[in-house]
Amino acid sequence: MRFIFLTYFFCLSVSATPFKGSKFVVAGPSSHSPFVSKMIYNKGGNVVDMAIAVAFALCVTHPYYVSLGSGGFALVKINSLTKSLDFRETAPHKMSSDFFEKNNFSSQTGAFSIGVPGFVAGMMALHKKYGKLSWSELLAPALFLAEKGYPVSGDWLNFTNQSKKQFNLAGKSVFFKKGKSYSLNENFKQKSLATAFKLLQKKGGDAFYRGDIGKDVVSSIQKEKGLLSLQDLEKYKVRWLKPLVFKFRSYEISSMPLPSSGGIILARAFRLIEKQKLYKKTLGSFDETHLLAEIMSLAFLPRYLMGDFEFSNFKPELYLSDKNLKELSDKISLEKSVKMPLIKESGETTHFSIIDKKGNTVAMTLTLNGIYGSKLVSSRYGVVLNNQIDDFTTLMNQANQYGLIQGENNLIQGGKRPLSSMSPTLVEKNKQTLLSLGGAGGPAIITGVLQTIYRYLVHNLNLEEALYYPRIHHQFLPRELFVEDKRFSPERIVSLKMKGHKIKFTNHVSRVFAVARNKKGELLAKGDFREMSSAGGL
């Protein structure tokens, strides 16, 4: 532990510039991640060990994105075999599909917005299947950061201060000093959370799902009249799933299946790219931008019908069939935007990726949904709790916080997982790992991952260029094309408007984090410049 203390500030110097390594590399939102990964690697840990340690450390340093009270997805490739893990939150068993119609409660903040957390169960499942080091060793970096503290960043201050009015008393107590804000780079400690990590080290997942941490979570929710119970925690299960795999040119791409909409939409988009021969268009041309927007929009079209596969009869193969995609492709015009019938279509998140010299990789996306989730923090251990219920269809025909109007298959039901846009993704060629990536930013995660892969594979941009390139986003509804503000020429905007696009400028597109392995066997990592990020390794 003394070694950790003496070298702790090394991690703060890790920048967002591209990093090249030979043993492993990591890219993500935190400057602490390369340091934590290096510690675990030097102890003999593998990519999954590193990923678990990084994820727990993010619970400390990025509590507005991820916590013990969150959930997520992971795509894992070990020894040429790829698996996906769903540790998404579930609805409390007492919550019904008409709950928000009958009750005037918020699905975005407070006790009724909270789903049953899957984070701890997910980390336990990964460790049981792949871990080499002891569970206790993997929690040590997070425990150190919670006990000794870390300098708060500008993002930390902005997100924390903007949430102040919505926090419960425990949240205000944890993240403010007698009601006053921290200063930039001031050291922030979380003693109560550190105690929770010690319990997890000693008792594993039982400390959360059957022990004192879970009791603290449930009592804090029920104090606010929420429905989540100890029985909900005890019944929670992760799901190992078969990744959704599809071909694009000579590449094989693996992504998340339902309850993520990401894999299906990505597969549809890449097949429409092939049918439209988009790669023949000049990079950044008016026509390429227009066609890419049309492809995104039509790829999103069936999202309204999607939901947790255990609770719906949605059949992905129908919407990935050549017949369905040819019919859509035939509707695309180079001259104007498609005017499809306006059927009803259908957060904050973070991601990191790790890859080693053998091509073993973990792409993990974690989320509380909104910034600081429900804004409710547990009283005893300071666990930030998600607001994942808003990802369900809480009220028919009304959009959620990301502007998505969702369908009947995504209605709330006890034990059900909400539809997601998280899209941890892996690209291979001849079974060799080329790219491992994912992102943050609600539904724009999918289009951010799409554009990064496309630029990297088709236009041969390097990793930094592919991530830096200006992005657009178009989901089926609303019928609006989002473009990054001040990153497109006036001429291109005029051209898009002339083709019938309703333009919306935004500073909040997806943030993508990627690691790659090039033809020379070199490992590359890059964080997105659109937020504080880091890349590092050995």
Q: Which two tokens stand for residue 342?
A: 């306006």
Helix (H, G, I), strand (E, B) or coil at 67: coil
pLDDT beyond 50 at 16: no
From start to end of 49-127, where are the E strands? 71-78, 81-87
pLDDT number for residue 305 = 93
Helix (H, G, I), strand (E, B) or coil at 162: helix
The CATH number given to whatever domain includes residue 468 is: 3.60.20.40
pLDDT number for residue 346 = 34
Is the same domain home to 195 and 337?
no
Is the same domain home to 136 and 206?
yes
pLDDT beyond 70 at 196: yes
- pLDDT tens by residue, 119-160: 999 999 999 999 999 999 999 999 999 999 999 999 999 999
Q: How far is CA 281 from CA 100, 123, 247, 292, 299, in A?
A: 47, 43, 21, 10, 19
Q: Is residue 405 part of a domain?
A: no
- pLDDT tens by residue, 474-526: 998 788 999 999 999 999 999 999 999 999 999 888 999 999 999 899 999 99
Average pLDDT, rounded, for the chain: 93
The more confidently predicted of residues 9 and 382 is 382
Q: Are 374 and 166 in contact (CB under 8 A)?
A: no
Q: Which two tokens stand for residue 311?
A: 């609770």
Q: Are 433 and 252 in contact (CB under 8 A)?
A: no
pLDDT beyond 80 at 396: no
Instruction: Kindly report the backbone phi and psi dihedral angles of residue 77, in degrees, each rounded to the nearest multiple of 5, phi listed first.
Output: -120, 115
How are beta strands 481-484 and 24-28 bridged, if at all?
unpaired
Q: Are 131 and 138 in contact (CB under 8 A)?
A: yes
pLDDT number for residue 276 = 97
- pLDDT tens by residue, 157-192: 999 999 999 999 999 999 999 999 999 999 999 999
pLDDT beyond 70 at 301: yes
Q: Which two tokens stand for residue 221?
A: 């929710």
Q: Which two tokens stand for residue 25?
A: 């590399």
- pLDDT tens by residue, 53-110: 999 999 999 999 999 999 999 999 999 999 999 999 999 999 999 999 899 899 999 9
Q: Is residue 412 part of a domain?
A: no
Sign, CA torsion 33/39/40/42:
positive
Q: Is residue 14 part of a domain?
A: no
Whether residue 259 has a cis bond before it, omega within 30° of 0: yes
Q: Is residue 532 part of a domain?
A: yes
Q: Are 215 and 206 in contact (CB under 8 A)?
A: no
Residue 473 Ramachandran class (φ > 0 left, ψ -120 to 50 alpha, else beta): beta
User: 3-state SS string over 457-481?
Assistant: HHCCCCHHHHHHCCCEECCCCCCCE
**Whole-number percent of the chain with pLDDT over 70:** 93
Is the same domain home to 188 and 263?
no
Is the same domain home to 236 and 248?
no
Is the same domain home to 198 and 335?
no
pLDDT beyond 60 at 7: no
Q: Is residue 402 part of a domain?
A: no
The more confidently predicted of residues 11 and 218 is 218
Section 341-345 average pLDDT? 42
Q: Is residue 20 part of a domain?
A: no
pLDDT beyond 70 at 13: no
Q: Is residue 285 part of a domain?
A: yes
The HSE-up count of residue 314 (CA atoms within 13 Å, CB side) is 26
Rounded Cα gap, residues 426 and 323, in angstroms: 26
pLDDT number for residue 265 = 98
Q: What is the DSSP string of 214-264?
A: HHHHHHHHHHTT----HHHHHH---EEEPPEEEEETTEEEEE--TTBSHHH
Instruction: Kindly report the backbone phi and psi dihedral angles of residue 516, in degrees, each rounded to the nearest multiple of 5, phi listed first.
Output: -145, 165
Section 36-45 average pLDDT? 98
Q: Which two tokens stand for residue 91?
A: 């609805």
Is the same domain home to 468 and 437?
yes
Rounded Cα gap, residues 199 and 54, in angstroms: 18
pLDDT number for residue 345 = 36
pLDDT beyond 60 at 11: no
Q: Which two tokens stand for residue 47?
A: 């990519």
Instruction: Give, as one character, the DSSP assignment of residue 292.
Output: H
Q: Are 529 and 29 in contact (CB under 8 A)?
A: no
pLDDT beyond 60 at 3: no
109 is catalytic: no
Q: Check 160, 195, 289, 349 and give the catalytic one.
A: 349
pLDDT band at 8 (very low <50, low <70, confident <90, very high): very low
Rounded Cα gap, residues 287 and 49, in angstroms: 45
Section 276-294 average pLDDT? 96
Instruction: Report the side by side order of strands in the sheet with 534-537.
Output: 239-241, 81-87, 71-78, 361-369, 348-356, 24-28, 534-537
Rounded Cα gap, residues 333 and 392, in angstroms: 34
Place of tokens 């609303």: 478
pLDDT number for residue 399 = 60
pLDDT number for residue 402 = 53
- pLDDT tens by residue, 420-471: 999 999 999 999 999 999 999 999 999 999 999 999 999 999 999 999 999 9
Is the same domain home to 160 and 293?
no
Q: Is residue 229 part of a domain?
A: yes
| Nearest by Cα to 450 from 481, 425, 420, 483 | 425
Is the same domain home to 44 and 117?
yes
Could you tell me the residue range of the domain that residue 283 belongs to? 244-348+422-537
Section 254-259 average pLDDT? 98
Instruction: Give, as one character, the DSSP assignment of residue 86.
Output: E
pLDDT number for residue 167 = 98
Is the same domain home to 363 and 445?
no
pLDDT band at 394 (very low <50, low <70, confident <90, very high): confident
Helix (H, G, I), strand (E, B) or coil at 27: strand
pLDDT number for residue 156 = 97
Q: Which two tokens stand for residue 404?
A: 């998505």
The pTM for the full model equals 0.94
pLDDT band at 14 (very low <50, low <70, confident <90, very high): very low
| Nearest by Cα to 135 from 206, 79, 69 | 206
Is the same domain home to 328 and 376?
no
Is the same domain home to 89 and 230?
yes
Task: Report which residue type is found at 311.
Answer: F
Is the same domain home to 323 and 207?
no
Sign, CA torsion 269/270/276/282:
positive
Q: Are 117 and 66 in contact (CB under 8 A)?
A: no
Residues 68-81 as b/e (b if ≥16 CB within 10 A, e otherwise) read bbbbbbbbbbbeee
pLDDT band at 397 (very low <50, low <70, confident <90, very high): low
pLDDT number for residue 309 = 96
| Helical (H) or strand (E) element with 429 | strand 425-429
How many distinct structural domains can be found in the chain? 2
